Each structure stands twice: as structure tokens, then as C-alpha cells.
Chains A and B, each alone.
Chain A
Amino acid sequence: MRDDKPGAKYGRDEWAQWGVALVVFAAVPLLGKKHFVNMGNEILVMGLFAMGFNLLYGVTGMLSFGQAAYYGVGAYTVGLLLSKGVAPFWVALPATMAVGGALALVLGPLCIRLSGVYFTMLTLAFAEMVWGIVFKWYDFTGGDNGIQGIPMPEALHSPLRYYYFTLAVVFVSFWLIRRIVDSPFGAVLQSIRENPERTGFIGVKVRRYQLAAMVLSGVFAALAGGLFAGYQHSIHPDMLHWTKSGEVILMSILGGVSSFFGPLMGAGIIVFIEDMIGKYTEFWEIWIGGIMLAIVIFFPRGLIGTFDTWITRWRNHGKHAETAARP
């Protein structure tokens, strides 16, 4: 009923959004512009990164400022395995998930002892240390120069094929995330977001679930990083920097953390306007800043969340009209 209360529902009846998203992304290449395929690819990858992040933030209520570490580590897993010829892409991509999850298993237990800002800052500190190692370890990671010319398998060499491959991987991941959110496990995560203390009193070992949420979101972040490495054939320590962690937070909030597809929408908007505006002016920052500002002010639940509200309100219009009409 109280549709305007954010967080009330984590995106139910969103089947229409699934349809729209699938159709739009599947149709992008039909427009015949390679550039759109590139952008679509980036949006999908960042969308996956953001949706994985939102499993932690929007669902479990843990604001991590260190997600770039997992994303970057995923990218470097693909980059290093492929460029050193250790493993083929088909092995490297799944391996990202293992590596991302493992990293979360190492860092997570230290982070989850804290809550609120302190948690946020500790994730930042650890991520920056991972960044520092990647940035400085020239012999292994290429240091700040990164790794270029990552050799991709023949089958995925064409951007178009890679695009559809990404589309498939990303949507399967979305579907998995959706299932996780709806599962008993997901219900516990949402309980933790709302009231961690009470969750403990129903017999749930809260920290274990928080850790599991970190691991899952690390897994998806790393997968996104791996996909990105395969798409750009080139990776760089910037991918692990805090600015990247910040970007994924901004995308999620912009799109709406309480709606399932909010983060994807946020990713789309940011990637799109960055691309559009950069073309026309050197003063792109003020434009993007202005657009973000407008979204913050006029879309109190993020883009999708606020659309949802409008739709519900419109649907309920008839019901409320009679009571609202009284002077």
C-alpha cells in the first residue's frame, strides 16, 4: 500500500522490466552501429557490477566502498591467465568468480566486525591496499601500465559475438541474483538490513550471512571485471581504485537501490551521458554533475524506484481520488 516508502519492497512485479531490458539489449546490435554495441557491452558489464554490489548494499544494507577490488581482481584474473597463456578464456572467466569470492572470504571476516561508516571505511582501506599491490607489482601485473592486448579466443573475437556472449552471461547472473534475493537466504539478508539485532534473535548468525553476502557480491563483481577484460582486451589498475568503487555506488543509487533493475539503469545512464556529453564540450563535468543533481532532487527513490512510484500512484489514482477530493 505505502508505495512511496522506499525500501518497502525490493522490486516485486518487475516482469515488465525484465522484458524491456532483454528486448532493448538484444536489439542494440540491430541498430547497426558498432559504437552502440560497445556501449551496450559496457553498460551490461557495469550493470552486472552494480547489481552485484546492490546485493550487498540495497539488499543487505552494507555499504561497501571497496567493490572495485573484486572487480579489478576479476579483470586481472582474466588478463593474467590469458596473457601469460596459463589458461584459456573459458577457464579464466569462471575462475574470476572463484578468485573474487576467495578475496571476499579473506577480507570479509575483518570487515563484517564493523558496521556503518566504519565498515564502509575498512572496505575502502582494504581495497586500496589491493590496488596498491596491483599498482606496484610491475613484474607480475604490469604496474600502472596495466596489461594490453589480452588474447581472446577466436570464437569471441568479433565485438558482436562478444556482446551476445556478455548479454547471456549477464542476464543469467541477473536471474541468479533475482533468485537469491527471493530465496530464504535473501530473506535473511533483507532482515539483516532492516534489523540486524532482531535477526540474531531468530537464530541467525548474522555475521556469517553478511560474509556470504560479501562473497556473493564479490563473485559477481569479479565476473563483471573478467567480462570487461575480455571486452576491452586491456586492463589497468584504475579498475581497482576507489573512484571505481564510488562509481558503482553512484550508479546504484542513481537507478534506485530498492528496485531490482535500478543499478542497471543507473549504469546505463552514467555510461550513456558520459559518452554523449564528452563529445560536445570540455566542460562535461558540469553537465553530468547537473544531471545527477536533478535526478537526486526529482527522483527520490532513484530512477526506477521513482518510476515505480509514479506507476503505482497512477494505478491507484481512482482509489484515492474519492478521499483526496474532499476539501
Chain B
Amino acid sequence: AEKIVIGAMYPMTGRAGRYGIDSVSAAEIAMNEINAKGGVNGRMIDIIFNDSKANPAYSIKVAKRYITEDKVNFLMGVVSSAVGLAVTEVSKENKVIFVGTDHASTALTTEKFQPYYFRVSNNTYQSAAAAALYAKDIKPWKKYYVIGPDYEYGHRTWEDFWMLLGRQRKDVQLVGQAWPKLFEPDYTPYITAILSAKPDVLVTTFWGGDTVAFIKQALPYKLFDKMKFYNYDGGGNYELLEAMPTGLPKGLVLSARHHLNWPDTKQNKEFVAKFKAQTGRYPSYAAEGAYAGVYFIAEGVRQAGTAEDPDKLVAVMEKIKFKLPEDPEGFMSYMRPIDHQIVQVQAIGETVPDKSFPPATMMLGNWKIFKAEEIIPSVAEIEAARKAVKK
């Protein structure tokens, strides 16, 4: 039978390269697992990859080539939200299903929603909602300072959080904000400004190397003794823990879209072990997203009995429920029909000494778990957001 072809785009160069390359590896693992069991309905999966260069214009070109030349059945991938927004447009025009595995902008599932788009990883709203629930119960956290990269992701991740927290706590106050450029190499003046403002909590919406650089530079200022450090979307990723084998402070409050040591399920352990065995490194969260993406597509094709009829696929994919490495015991991730956003449990932890995933010497622990249904926007909210745009 003919292969099921997936056209994947991930950044493989530049700053986000780590995520892209991990995604590629994980997608290949998932593909091989599925194909080893005989594929889907007897059809093998084939994934082609191309660098997205984290560049919307280039990605559009690649996506179009995938569709016209390579005749892919699905598009998958993309780390940057801006690229996601660009590719979802191609998906819509050509009626080719696009499975988002690692970009968080809420817009894709609300204002810019189109039926051929599905996302199998958390969006910023989910992280922010969990973070607000976490913060609401901590009484001493009153004065907030926010620093994040100056682009939509950085702002939106914060704004959702602040809005949701504000609904539940009236005594919180924003004492300052700073918006350095994405990939800013030097945070020193920002750090001195933060210290002078004396917040209780420093919320950061950095991801990747920016978190690393910020922490390294803030350490000698003893910033982490003076305030809580809170990064609830990308900060808890393994790459940070790994990048700082020495010096990473205890008690940073972090999360990510997938963790190596949570949930403590067989499936998660196996996924992590397999990835490590095949690539020699531990997966960053992006890997699990890509892994989930391939399984999601496989499940869709299995249920629909076709990879060629997008509308039929949409109809079944909207209702998929499946078990992922990041699902705790007794829970299965599922797709929500209204926004094609996967619904998942979120866990936020603190850095604690833990050497089980070397070279990291700290891992997250002291978990707080947030139920999947508590952290998604209500149907009414989504409809309101979509209406606001239409006007």
C-alpha cells in the first residue's frame, strides 16, 4: 500500500536548532515504532524533513513544495508561532491537515483557528492558567516583576497569566517590567533594575538559551536569594538543567510542556530511555511534542481509514483520545473539537538536587499538578475571542 507521507518542518539551525533536531529524532522514533508494528492499516509512515529556518516566508515555500511536489498527506511541526501562523494558512488554502507539535500561540486555536489545524502540545494559555492557579495560593507572592523576550510569545505568556491571576487575587501588584530583545546576550542592566525594584516574584517568559544566560548572569547578584524565579512555560525544560551542571539554584519554580522525570509512568520512562539510547542525549520537551504528533496522525488515519480525505480525517481527529508519555496515570490526552487544542495535565515543579539525568545535577521536584480541564479556556471564552476578531 502507499505510504502515509508527513511533511515536517523544524528549525535545525540557529538558536532553536536544539528543539528542531530533537523533534526530528523523536518523530523518527515514533515513525519506526509504528512501522515496526506494521504501520497504520497496513500503510507505512514516511516523514520528510526540512529546516524551517524559523522563517515564515521560507516555511510557506517549503510547505507548498511538500504539498505540490511531495504530495504529503499531512504537514507537521514548527517551533515558532509566527511560522505556525503562516503555515496554518497554507494548510487552510490547500486543505491539508497541519499538526502543530511545538508552538504555543493561543491565536492558532482561537482567532486564527481553521478546521485543518490541530495542536498536540500545550498553548500559552494552558501554561499560564496552571501558573495562575499555582501562584494564587502562595500568599507572600504579592509584588511581581516580569521580564521576557520582546515578541508575541513573551508578552502573551505573561499577559494571560496576569489576567488570570488578577481574577483570583486582588492584592498582587506589578512593580516593573523589562522586554529585552529575543536572544539578548547580556542581561546585566536588566538584572540591576530588577534588583532595585525588589519584587517578591520574578516572572520570566524566556525560553532556551535566554533562560540560561539570564540565570548565569543573575547568579553573582544573588538574585535568586532575594526573590522567587518563576518560569512556567519553557523554563523547566531539560536543556536548562543540563546547561548548568553547576550553579543552578535550588527552588526555582519552573515548568515545561514535558518533563523527563514526571509523570513517573512506564510510558514516559520508556520514551526517555529510548530517545537517550538512540541519540545519546535526553529529549527536550519539543521531542515529546513531535512524538505525539506522529502518533496523533497515525491514530487519525487508523480511525478514519484514509489519509487522503481531509474532511473525514478532521471529523475523527477532533475526537481522538490517546495516551502520551506526558500523561499521568489514569489520564489520557484528548483533542477538543471546538479549538482542536489538545487537553493535557500540567505540572509545575521546583528545582531540587537530583543526579539521575546527568550531567544535570538539579531536576524538578515538589510537583503541583493541575487538572487538564481546569486550565483550558471555556468554550464561551473561545467563541468570544473569535467573535471579537470577526468584527
Q: Does B12 contact A (CB under 8 A)?
A: yes
Contacts of A233 in B (CB 8 A): 89, 93
Residues in A224-270 with C-beta less than 8 Å from chain B: 228, 232-234, 236, 238-239
Q: Are B57 and A239 in contact (CB under 8 A)?
A: yes
Q: Are A34 and B152 in contact (CB under 8 A)?
A: no
Residue of A nearest to B92 (CB): A149
Contacts of A143 in B (CB 8 A): 151-152
Kindly supply a per-residue 1/0 record for chain B positions 58-82, scoring 1 wherever the CB is within 8 Å of any chain A CB and 0 otherwise.
1011101100110000000000011
Q: Are A145 and B81 in contact (CB under 8 A)?
A: yes
Bound CA–CA A215/B61 (angstroms): 30
**Which of A109-117, A161-169, A192-200, A279-287 sits within the interface?**
A279-287
Q: Are B56 and A234 in contact (CB under 8 A)?
A: yes
Q: Are B12 and A146 in contact (CB under 8 A)?
A: no
Q: Does B51 contact A (CB under 8 A)?
A: yes
Contacts of A135 in B (CB 8 A): 151
Kindly supply a per-residue 1/0 record for chain B positions 88-115, scoring 1 wherever the CB is within 8 Å of any chain A CB and 0 otherwise.
1100110000000000010100001000
Contact of A35 among B51, B68, B85, B105 (CB under 8 A): B68
Bound CA–CA A171/B212 (angstroms): 50
Q: Are B85 and A145 in contact (CB under 8 A)?
A: yes
Contacts of A279 in B (CB 8 A): 48, 50
Min Cβ gap B129→A in Å is: 21
Contact of B89 among A35, A144, A234 (CB under 8 A): A234
Q: Does A275 contact B (CB under 8 A)?
A: yes
Contacts of A33 in B (CB 8 A): 68-69
Q: Does A136 contact B (CB under 8 A)?
A: yes
Q: How many residues of A contact B (CB 8 A)?
A: 29
Contacts of B107 in A (CB 8 A): 145
Q: Does A88 contact B (CB under 8 A)?
A: no
Question: Contacts A275-B65, A278-B50, A284-B51 known; A146 to B86 CB distance under 8 Å?
Answer: yes
Bound CA–CA A190/B241 (angstroms): 59
Kindly supply a per-residue 1/0 record for chain A positions 14-45, scoring 1 wherever the CB is within 8 Å of any chain B CB and 0 otherwise.
00000000000000000001110011001000
Contact of B86 among A38, A148, A282, A284 (CB under 8 A): A148
Q: Are B55 and A238 in contact (CB under 8 A)?
A: yes
Q: Does A138 contact B (CB under 8 A)?
A: yes
Q: Are A234 and B86 in contact (CB under 8 A)?
A: yes
Bound CA–CA A135/B150 (angstroms): 9
Residue of A nearest to B64 (CB): A38
Contact of B57 among A34, A136, A232, A278 (CB under 8 A): A232
Contacts of A274 in B (CB 8 A): 58
Q: Are A38 and B61 in contact (CB under 8 A)?
A: yes
Contacts of B55 in A (CB 8 A): 238
Q: Are A236 and B56 in contact (CB under 8 A)?
A: yes
Contacts of B50 in A (CB 8 A): 278-279
Bound CA–CA A282/B93 (angstroms): 28
Q: Are A146 and B151 in contact (CB under 8 A)?
A: no
Question: Contacts A145-B81, A145-B82, A234-B89 known; A282 to B151 CB distance under 8 Å?
Answer: no
Bound CA–CA A148/B113 (angstroms): 12
Bound CA–CA A149/B151 (angstroms): 21
Min Cβ gap B226→A in Å is: 31
Contacts of A34 in B (CB 8 A): 64, 68-69
Residue of A nearest to B179 (CB): A136
Contacts of A39 in B (CB 8 A): 61
Bound CA–CA A13/B269 (angstroms): 70
Q: Are A35 and B65 in contact (CB under 8 A)?
A: yes
Bound CA–CA A89/B55 (angstroms): 25
Residue of B nearest to A284 (CB): B51
Q: Are A148 and B13 in contact (CB under 8 A)?
A: no
Contacts of B68 in A (CB 8 A): 33-35, 38
Residue of A nearest to B81 (CB): A145
Bound CA–CA A38/B93 (angstroms): 15
Min Cβ gap B301→A in Å is: 24
Question: Contacts A145-B105, A148-B89, A278-B50 known; A35 to B69 CB distance under 8 Å?
Answer: yes
Residue of B nearest to A42 (CB): B61
Question: Contacts A145-B105, A148-B85, A278-B50 known; A238 to B65 CB distance under 8 Å?
Answer: no
Q: Are A278 and B51 in contact (CB under 8 A)?
A: yes
Bound CA–CA A38/B65 (angstroms): 9
Contacts of A38 in B (CB 8 A): 61, 64-65, 68
Contacts of B151 in A (CB 8 A): 135, 143-144
Most buried by B among A33, A138, A238: A238
Contacts of A236 in B (CB 8 A): 56-57, 82, 86
Min Cβ gap B383→A in Å is: 20
Bound CA–CA A284/B49 (angstroms): 12
Contacts of B69 in A (CB 8 A): 33-35
Contact of B51 among A136, A148, A282 (CB under 8 A): A282
Residue of A nearest to B51 (CB): A278
Bound CA–CA A148/B61 (angstroms): 14
Bound CA–CA A148/B150 (angstroms): 21
Which residues of A come within 8 Å of B, CB atoms?
33-35, 38-39, 42, 135-136, 138, 143-146, 148-149, 228, 232-234, 236, 238-239, 274-275, 278-279, 282, 284-285
13 contacts between A and B (CB under 8 A): A33-B69, A34-B68, A34-B69, A136-B150, A143-B152, A146-B82, A148-B112, A228-B57, A234-B86, A236-B82, A275-B61, A282-B51, A285-B13
A-B pairs, 4 with minimum CB distance: A34-B68, A282-B12, A148-B89, A236-B56
Q: A33-B69, A38-B65, A233-B93 are in contact. List 6 more A-B contacts (CB 8 A).
A: A34-B68, A35-B64, A35-B65, A38-B61, A145-B82, A238-B55
